[in-house]
Structure 1
């Protein structure tokens, strides 16, 4: 039997405010094409199908289209829920969906109710363990005292092993958890509120293969315990990742082979650094023109309208920041303002956040300070005078 392991689709997620649904639709089409090419019997999705518990109508439509393409490729589908999903919403209609080859395992009550697949060697039992929040799941799992992720997953696996003991079947466990020894990429949401969220791989002992979700980088914890990673990169920290799925071949004795299949790149990510003029004209940045781009500008003076100008060359630029050269002396603010006049404090502030004030701006500052000194607040501290003057500058500029 051949199974494709994927997870963390995060349908509906945005990237620095940019809607990713079109990219996700393309990625699911690539996944369906891979399933057809591999002639896979089943696809398992290890949680975080959606990015939020109440997905948008458009995200649900992309999910529906993706499932239809995978089913048309000839595979049955087993889905469990992650910490981003609403288990109840994702699992709605599970009894009817199963008739069409979509098997939803999103509740604690279904942990010991495997999806049974068959091949020439007999049965394969696929168990779905949804994301288990310890405080809310422990009582349903028969745990009376407060506990952590290890305890609830051990209790869930006890149910799996007890059911498996009564079957003559190979087994696959699909779970959403943070297993120690694996590396996070930075775009995952923590699954623990206080305490330790990681669990040992040994918790899943007894299963022939464990298909994990939650971490966004494809990686091997053990030969038979693996993360497939996310469908797309969801942070610039993932720009060097090659997104992938695992293809698992089961023979009569269990896992015969596990292969990594990289997914086609939908859109690259690039982190660029230089002056605005360099980014707009230098040929060495040409490869990033169709990428999502974050740019760190090193101009001596903060460029005006930088994002609009960047998008003339990089239409998918999503983030820009000004890294002023020689900024950051390491001196705390109190030390910087000690012994300086109000005018010097204000002029320094303007220079720090923009550039050197013009003669006209200096005149406005001096006039504003004179106006403040003539008011009852004349007894105020230097810092307060500076704030009053800044308010006067803003009012006059408006």
Structure 2
């Protein structure tokens, strides 16, 4: 008797490389995940956070709804909110995937854990198809360090460290999950967090993997499987008695992930023994490739690059004219997103005009470099950067929404006329090929 779980994470729909969108790659890898799920036949599918890369456009919301509905046709799906996800957008998806709120109970195939509140923790049960087993899952969304809204009974929790407060929330999830546990109940813990000792890909937000915000592996609850998200590099969590994995991102999202092999986790769980884990590799998506050396050295390996995203560091004796054109000719199938011209004894770099903006240091990097010189260091620096990062992620109320999801959801809940229902219909009626007209 076993229960089967498919674990995926960190899709980051909408993520770009510089100014380049990756819609075709996302479509291909999501179709691949749907196919793997259909072949594996899981009892439960878990997405452990960062469905989107930030505030999504309509196409990204459509893409997520289409993929989640297709996965829900295979097995129930639980989605945990990550640090890049906006609760209102996830609530809109929930509204769409329950057919405008008309589905209830066992008819709900996709459920979302959007916020961590004592009265809103997602604890759910799903029967296994093989044997008289029940999968019980407790889902913990990402807990923002500077917007930690969980209400604690103990007054002292307000002054506790981030790790101490997360430990208390995890314990609360486990108490509810393990209550009245029977011998045929399999416990799963799904969370979006950084566990100390995990190896990041460094495409995550730097502040979100700061040591001050790491959760101790020994503090994780004792369950039959832990489905973790947040770290993009697929890996297991090294703690005896807690079989858990980071599923990682499905595509190489940044040049910090060039060595990562992407996959989804297929876990078979049974009472009283360690789960059987298989990693199903994901083959869709273009590779991200670093090229370094003299132009003639790069030319020798150019045939192996093929269809890829490329950053190149070219060693030259003096400033070289038409370097971008020469590389483009050597790598006709590749998209070159950055070029650095390296001259002996020179510290400067020359960028291709189309990639120049992508290569400049970001405001976050400049602020992190500036503040220590003004006396803000250590934990105080971490808190300032966390606040700044969250402020950047917050929608600007003065900006018009890029799509209709929040307006539509608010109108629907209020019982007002849904003038924009045709767009929601596109989401609900997505066919298997996703060939509707995109705007």
Range with greater deviation from structure 2 (299-308 or 265-274): 299-308
Task: Give CA-to-partner distance per residue, 1:247-286, whole Å, 9 cap, x none.
Answer: 111224364312222111421121112344654xx34221
CA contact (8 A) 2:293 2:313 kept: yes
CA contact (8 A) 1:153 1:203 kept: no
Instruction: Give the structure with higher Rg (CA).
Output: 1
2:45 aligned partner = 43
Range with greater deviation from structure 2 (93-102 or 28-37): 93-102
CA contact (8 A) 1:8 1:48 kept: yes
* d(CA) in 2 for partners of 1:92, 1:146: 34
1:367 aligned partner = none
1:236 and 2:247 correspond: no
1:219 aligned partner = 235
Where do 5+ consecutive residues of structure 2 fail to align?
99-103, 351-439
2:115 aligned partner = 107
- 1:71-82 equivalences under 5 Å are 71-72=72-73, 74-82=74-82
2:27 aligned partner = 25
Task: Give CA-to-partner distance per residue, 1:180-239, whole Å, 9 cap, x none.
Answer: 111111100145598701111122222221111111100111361211111111222211
* d(CA) in 1 for partners of 2:153, 2:207: 21
Q: Report the TM-score, using the length of structure 1 for normalisation.
A: 0.75
1:128 aligned partner = 139
Where do 5+ consecutive residues of structure 1 fail to align?
329-351, 355-398
CA contact (8 A) 2:196 2:211 kept: no
Alignment: residue pair count: 327
How far 1:2 moved relative to its partner? 0.8
* d(CA) in 2 for partners of 1:58, 1:170: 37
1:159 aligned partner = 172
CA contact (8 A) 1:44 1:174 kept: yes
Specify whether residues 4 and 216 from structure 1 end up closer, same or farther in structure 2 by C-alpha distance, changes over 3 A only.
same
Range with greater deviation from structure 2 (90-99 or 284-293): 90-99
* d(CA) in 2 for partners of 1:126, 1:58: 30
* d(CA) in 2 for partners of 1:353, 1:104: 46
1:274 and 2:297 correspond: no
Q: Report the TM-score, using the length of structure 2 for normalisation.
A: 0.69
* d(CA) in 1 for partners of 2:83, 2:203: 13
Specify whether residues 250 and 101 from structure 1 end up closer, same or farther in structure 2 by C-alpha distance, changes over 3 A only.
same
SS at structure 2 position matched to 1:172: strand
SS at structure 2 position matched to 1:22: helix
SS at structure 2 position matched to 1:166: coil
Whose relative contact order is higher, 1 or 2, with alpha carbons under 8 Å and at least 6 apart? 2
How far 1:143 moved relative to its partner? 5.5
1:256 aligned partner = 275
CA-atom RMSD in angstroms: 2.4
How far 1:244 moved relative to its partner? 1.2
* d(CA) in 2 for partners of 1:194, 1:239: 22
1:358 aligned partner = none
- 1:316-395 equivalences under 5 Å are 316-327=335-346
How far 1:47 moved relative to its partner? 0.6
SS at structure 1 position matched to 2:275: strand
* d(CA) in 2 for partners of 1:217, 1:209: 18
CA contact (8 A) 1:5 1:45 kept: yes
